Amino acid sequence: MSAHKPADHEAEYFAREEYERKKAIEEEKHEKMAEGEKAKLKEIHYMKCPKCGMDLVTIDYKGIQIDRCSGCEGVWLDCGELEAVAEFEHGTMSKLFTKVFKVKDEYSEHPGL
Ligand SMILES: [Zn+2]
């Protein structure tokens, strides 16, 4: 079980590295962008789904504000909220995965079912 830990940290490290690299490229664009243009973009995109463009609806999930798309039902998390959800759900998620894998094992033992 402990073998999963270093791989998780490595994946997290590479994800953060990739984000920082892509963010630096975007920040260069932001600097060249006029303030008026930024305000205009925010006005157009604020509380709109980044994938389908429909309105986002804010729901309170166990004290964490989550924006859910009214169209495609995709979920948007503000800065720090992913960590909050991950921390909160850790126990539940572990249980869920255990259950999923257990069910899968039962199926593979009885493929006819
Ligand atoms: Zn959507």
pLDDT of residue 105: 47
Answer positive or negative: Cα dihedral of 103, 99, 69, 79: negative
Q: How far is the CA of 61 from the centre of ligand 1 (A)?
A: 19
Gap from CA of 113 to ligand 1 centroid (Å):
37
Q: Distance, CA 50 to ligand 1 centroid (Å)?
A: 7
List the shell of residues around ion ligand 1, using CB closer than 5 Å.
49, 51-52, 54, 69, 71-72, 74
CA dist list (Å): 27 to 5, 15, 19, 31, 99: 32, 18, 12, 6, 43
pLDDT of residue 2: 46
Which pLDDT value is given to residue 91? 63
CA separation for the pair 44, 39 (Å, rounded): 9
**pLDDT given at position 96:** 54
Per-residue pLDDT of the chain (113 residues; tens, 9 = 90+): 444 567 888 888 999 999 999 999 999 988 888 889 999 999 999 999 999 999 999 998 888 888 999 999 999 888 888 888 777 766 665 555 555 555 444 454 455 54
Q: How many residues does the chain have?
A: 113
pLDDT of residue 106: 46
Q: What is the pLDDT of residue 83?
A: 81
pTM over 0.85: no
